[in-house]
């Protein structure tokens, strides 16, 4: 496909978020219309062209190929609690009705207050603490040990406490460690297997469902399929992957609830602690509602062009190896 053909199939939109999610208040997304369905290209602003190329590969796969066969009709999902004022915790949890596992972003000014508020609303909650690699070894050990002493086995795991695999391997904490960013950034899977107790797998940053399945086959630890704050278009791929895996798990695939809008008829929103496995129907009037101005479209066209060139280089390299 020539790049001009690809860009002709792109619609660039921006959907407001319901909270300030890691500094994002407008989720910018490039939708790509394919022969099977729409795909989503929405890497965050700080991604490199190498990372963008994988995300584009995932979007094109979703747009042009069949998803794997599902073995279940629903996927269990956790609630996701960003950094919000304590008084808003209950409202955010209500966006994930029925979810008793809660992923809490930590490394903020009000970590413990928000956690206490979670238990005020869901007394039997299971916590997944997500640090996004913010901590030094000492900071992680002190905070996680302190939280464990208070909440014990209600903490399921801490996700990416430190930035590097070496730092995470050096940690001595009483809580299982889940690895996310180190996998997304393409670090050595054999080392990840040594360090991780759990591995977070996201379809788009890994390059699509097929590539994610290949990665999973190389992991000898439990996996949690998660998302990257996508619309229902992008979320459908993660849900398809989770629904295809033989073991049922609670996934991080409910984050459409953090967006204040969508472009499909029936959004993939959590209900009764799960999200339905289904194809989504993109509505043209919703694309128009959220379409970004021409200058933003040009920015995304340029980004897609660079990612496409890198994707072609990567595929040629793989073909020679």
Collapse the DSSP code of 321 into the 3-class scheme (helix H, G, I; strand E, B; otherwise coil) and give the result.
coil
Q: Which of 65, 68, 62 is nearest to 42 (CA)?
A: 62
- Please indicate whether residue 105 is annotated as part of the active site: yes
CA angle 30, 214, 166 (to 5 degrees): 90
Q: Which of 9, 150, 202, 289 is catalytic?
A: 202
Helix ranges (H only) for the chain are 3-7, 49-64, 89-94, 111-121, 137-151, 165-170, 181-184, 189-195, 203-206, 209-218, 232-244, 284-290, 294-320
In what helix (H) or strand (E) does residue 25 lie, and over which residues does it extend? Answer: strand 24-33
Neighbours of 96 (CB within 10 A): 26
Displacement of CA 23 from its chain's centroid (Å):
15
Q: Which of 217, 220, 221, 114 is nearest to 178 (CA)?
A: 221
Q: Which of 57, 74, 103, 105 is catalytic?
A: 105
- Please indicate whether residue 202 is annotated as part of the active site: yes
Please identify every residue annotated as catalytic.
105, 202
């Amino acid at each position: 496909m020539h790049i001009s053909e690809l860009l002709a199939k792109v619609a660039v939109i921006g959907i407001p978020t319901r909270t300030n999610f890691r500094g994002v208040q407008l989720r910018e997304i490039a939708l790509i219309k394919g022969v099977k369905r729409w795909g989503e290209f929405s890497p965050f602003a700080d991604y490199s062209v190498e990372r963008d190329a994988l995300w584009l590969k995932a979007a094109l796969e979703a747009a042009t190929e069949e998803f794997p066969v599902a073995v279940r009709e629903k996927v269990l999902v956790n609630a996701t609690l960003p950094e919000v004022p304590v008084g808003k915790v209950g409202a955010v949890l209500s966006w994930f009705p029925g979810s008793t596992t809660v992923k809490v972003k930590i490394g903020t000014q009000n970590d413990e207050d928000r956690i206490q508020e979670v238990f005020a609303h869901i007394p039997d909650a299971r916590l997944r603490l997500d640090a996004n690699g913010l901590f030094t070894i000492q900071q992680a050990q002190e905070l996680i040990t302190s939280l464990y002493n208070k909440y014990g086995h209600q903490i399921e795991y801490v996700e990416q406490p430190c930035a590097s695999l070496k730092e995470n391997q050096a940690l001595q904490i009483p809580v299982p460690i889940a690895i996310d960013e180190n996998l997304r950034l393409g670090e050595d899977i054999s080392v990840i297997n040594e360090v991780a107790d759990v591995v977070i797998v996201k379809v788009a940053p890994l390059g699509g469902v097929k590539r994610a399945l290949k990665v999973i086959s190389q992991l000898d630890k439990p996996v949690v399929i998660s998302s990257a704050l996508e619309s229902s278009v992008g979320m459908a791929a993660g849900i398809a992957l989770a629904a295809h895996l033989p073991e049922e798990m609670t996934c991080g695939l409910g984050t459409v609830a953090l967006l204040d809008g969508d472009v499909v008829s029936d959004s993939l929103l959590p209900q009764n602690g799960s999200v339905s496995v289904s194809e989504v129907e993109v509505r043209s009037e919703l694309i128009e509602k959220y379409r970004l101005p021409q200058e933003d479209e040009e920015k995304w066209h340029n980004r897609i062009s660079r990612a496409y060139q890198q994707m072609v280089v990567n595929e040629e390299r793989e073909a020679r190896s």
